[in-house]
Structure 1
Amino acid sequence: MLDELFARLREATAPAEIEALQDGIWQIWLTAGHPVLDKRLENGMRALSADEYTLAIQEFTFLIEAAPEYAEGWNKRATAYYLRGEYKASLRDARQVLRREPRHFGALWGLAIMHRMLGDARGALRYLTRLEQLCPAWPGLQTQLRTLRNGLREGPG
């Protein structure tokens, strides 16, 4: 099912279709596969929504320790670290996501944003190029790629 959704995402051009396919993929990713783990994921997401980042990180850490191959546990903890301003920890966890699910567009986008924030245009471009392979028509992606490529061609000052 996931492979089929990604195949369709690669061909999608309409923003509404891309969003619907993303939603379908997220539905699969947001299932840890065990009631206890699903509950911890839900608790962590609720804490994240309430800006309770420490609690969210605790919930996602439990999830990671219980199911280390479950990519979304790492992704959610990366998000919590990012929102708490702990960028190194967020980068580390986002890379773990991609080890488990190389097509994780949320992690790719997040890594691109963080690399750009840190002044690493090449790193940002690397992750956005991977995202382009998943969905060339991703809204706003081509503009981001063009901006980064132009900036790299022009060089610093």
Structure 2
Amino acid sequence: MDSLDELFARLRVATTPTEIEALQEGIWQIWLATGHPLLDKHLEAGMRALAAEEYTLAITEFTALTDASPEYAEGWNKRATAYFLRGEYKASITDIRETLRLEPRHFGALSGWATILRTIGDNRAALQVLQRLEKLCPAWPGLQSQLRNLQDLLDE
């Protein structure tokens, strides 16, 4: 199996949506591996709650995960997602920042952060976040048009 660094190196030069998707999937598989059965239980329960739109329960499960394993970046990212879906952008951004402190290449966290920033109207910050994503994968589907649209908005 490829290491995370190898997958990110390949993602940086990937050009087709199929190739990018396959590399993302490989990265997610590594990120979702907690390495401990109890942590797996919290992660799985939280993901089920997210899928069922039970955001409070999801946040409870992901908080148990981050409390038990504060160095596990994906626990923070999943909780950030639950906060976002519940409309709690400030709490989501706090967890996104922790995710990125632990895993600066976390494209899911970067993408989510850019979405929040655009939602609250901070286009300049959203552009900066998307530029970080561009360094990870310039050919990310839809990214170049998002960058152009934000730049156009800022140039008006």
TM-score where L is the length of structure 1: 0.97
Per the alignment, residue 61 of structure 2 pairs with: 59
Please, which of 47, 50, 66 is the counterpart of residue 49 of structure 2?
47
Counterparts of 1:94 and 1:109, CA distance in 2: 10
Please, which of 108, 111, 114 is the counterpart of residue 113 of structure 2?
111
Shift of 1:39: 1.3
Counterparts of 1:100 and 1:38, CA distance in 2: 19
Question: Which residue identity lines up with residue 151 of structure 2 in the other structure?
Answer: R
Q: Deviations over 1:71-125 (max 9, x none)?
A: 0000000000011111111111111100000000000000000001111011100
Matched, 1:89 2:85: no
Counterparts of 1:81 and 1:61, CA distance in 2: 11
Per the alignment, residue 143 of structure 1 pairs with: 145
Please, which of 16, 27, 30 is the counterpart of residue 28 of structure 1?
30
Per the alignment, residue 102 of structure 2 pairs with: 100
Shift of 1:32: 1.0
Per the alignment, residue 39 of structure 2 pairs with: 37
Q: How many residues align?
A: 154
Please, which of 123, 126, 134 is the counterpart of residue 124 of structure 1?
126
Per the alignment, residue 12 of structure 1 pairs with: 14
Q: Deviation above 6 Å: which 4+ runs of structure 1? A: none
- Gap runs ≥5 in structure 1: none
Counterparts of 2:128 and 2:104, CA distance in 1: 13
CA RMSD of aligned residues (A): 0.5
Shift of 1:59: 0.4
Question: Which residue identity lines up with residue 122 of structure 1 in the other structure?
Answer: R
